[in-house]
Amino acid sequence: MPTSLPSWSRWLLAFIAALLVGTLLGSLVQTQFNLLAIQSMGFPVPLDVRLVTSAQDLLFFGPVFAALFGGSFLVSQPLALLINRWLSPLWHPLLCALGAALGLAVTLKLVDALAPMPTLIAATRSASGTLALLACAALAGWLFARWRPYRSTRPVRSPLATSAVLVLVGALGFLSEPSSSSESADYRIETVAEGLEHPWSVAFLPEGGLLVTERPARLRHIDAQGHLHAPISGVPEVYAQGQSGLFDVLLANDFERSRRLYLSYACGSHSANHTCLARARWQDSALREVEEIFRTRPAKTASAHFGGRLAWLDDGTLVMTLGDGFDYREQAQNVSNHLGGTVRLNPDGSVPADNPFRSQTGAAPELYTLGHRNVQGLFFDATSGTLFSHEHGPKGGDELNILAPGGNYGWPAVTHGLDYTGARVSPYKQWPGIRPPLWHWTPSIAPSGLTRYTGTLFPEWEGSLLVGGLASRQVHRLTFTDGVITEQAPLFGELKARIRDVRVGPDGAVYLLTDSPEGKVLRVTPD
């Protein structure tokens, strides 16, 4: 470093220069591991695409990594220099390198523990990716030790604090999302039931009233008079943590006679869990003859991306949506398992003879479609024979799709979304043979719940798709004409509530579930 500068300036320049080197190399490492994953799924990445993606990640992922690495660097290097007081100067570069690597490792563990997702930086899903990032940090620490002034081993706090401010500024642009206002309409919203803990799904009973699932493993009955009953006993054992829990409830086609219903839920433990499907008979405020008829394979860790929506097709088979388990996203392109797919089953859980992958060697016979991230919206339109679904993207790239047997919907090799860090999940937004979305949302609305309005109370909404939004805190009404979405309009934004489910009742009213510890069932009718 130049010796004509004041000592504190040389300290600051050494810190910033080392930080920039570590950030540059860390961003490049993250990108190459992502692209390696894309290649492993059979999607080639030529040199020009690799270079462009690396540059994009440096621009958008780089500031986020700089903030994380910069914070750990700001702590680790003064500690290393403090220890250096009792060692020979020959040990200084090694100690700073080890300190930088250890500091980043601790930071990554802390961020993953605090973040809603299991793993924030995708490259760290593997041991090799983690070691590569730590090696970048170690090199930055070694360079800092070599470039800093040697006359004093006292850490200079003021310049280092200044540098921390510089590296944190770059991350600020990732923290905000635009909002939208609700379209004007003549309707009123009444509360059917409240005090529900994270309600997830609703089913309408033929005798009147509702069944509602609560994510913490409770099934509730709301009778025709609006009375909320105590939880129904006999619910199968549910793994309820994070995003996991009790999900959808679906009545059998002959429910009025058989009183059979179906429940989707997370089962297992944090270290080995699945999305499961059970059927049961509801009698005398209890579930009887409870039978698990399907569970996904393989088992996965953590508590994210389970899917869980259910729908009947017109041939009497049942479709269940699944998720990729977050840290297993590449498995969404693997037909040998269920992760990131949807499955089609007979009412008893057996495999339909005409399932699209049943005759393929090594494929999971239950698989119906693949290439999904986390499907939390499903609706079969009996009039047109169309199966609609939607799924969560990461940072943008939420998708609305029409599901076709054997269809590949691209995730994670083809997506409009970015990782939460700003890194590219994939360089590709389209690919031959990959079914494009009917609609996509960027920024993300976090869609949950899906229906098509076919009632008589709101004739102006006839044929519209209604999509609940968790992040957007409203319902999105999509005009669907001749197979194309022609318009999107927001509804019920005045609620400022996370919308978990949206359904059209037998009375033509729109029913909403709000996702909160004090969730509600709401009924929307004309004013």
pLDDT tens per residue, range 54-97: 999 999 999 999 999 999 999 999 999 888 788 777 788 999 99
- Domain limits, the chain: 7-174, 187-526
CA-wise closest residue to 133 among 119, 114, 113, 118: 119
Instruction: Quick: pLDDT tens for 331-371.
Output: 999 999 999 999 999 999 999 999 999 999 999 999 999 99
Helix (H) or strand (E) holding 23: helix 7-40
- Rounded distance between C-alpha atoms, residue 143 and residue 450, angstroms: 54
**Angstrom distances, CA of residue 189 to CA of 179, 196, 238, 514:** 21, 17, 32, 13
Residue of 305, 338, 416, 476 with catalytic role: 305
Q: Does domain 187-526 have CATH number 2.120.10.30?
A: yes
- State the residue for tokens 């002034």: 149
- State the residue for tokens 């005798």: 207
Per-residue pLDDT of the chain (527 residues; tens, 9 = 90+): 555 556 778 889 999 999 999 999 999 999 999 999 999 999 999 999 999 999 999 999 999 999 999 999 999 999 998 887 887 777 889 999 999 999 999 999 999 999 989 999 999 999 999 999 999 999 999 999 998 875 444 443 444 433 433 333 333 333 333 333 345 558 999 999 999 999 999 999 999 999 999 999 999 999 999 999 999 999 999 999 999 999 999 999 999 999 999 999 999 999 999 999 999 999 989 999 999 999 999 999 999 999 999 999 999 999 999 999 999 999 999 999 999 999 999 999 999 999 999 999 999 999 999 999 999 999 999 999 999 999 999 999 999 999 999 999 999 999 999 999 999 999 999 999 999 999 999 999 999 999 999 999 999 999 999 999 999 999 999 999 888 999 999 999 999 999 999 999 999 999 999 999 999 999 999 99
The 10 Å Cβ neighbour count of residue 524 is 22
CA-wise closest residue to 94 among 113, 81, 108, 107: 81
To the query of whether residue 305 is one of the catalytic residues in this protein, the response is: yes
**Angstrom distances, CA of residue 183 to CA of 331, 477, 486:** 40, 10, 16
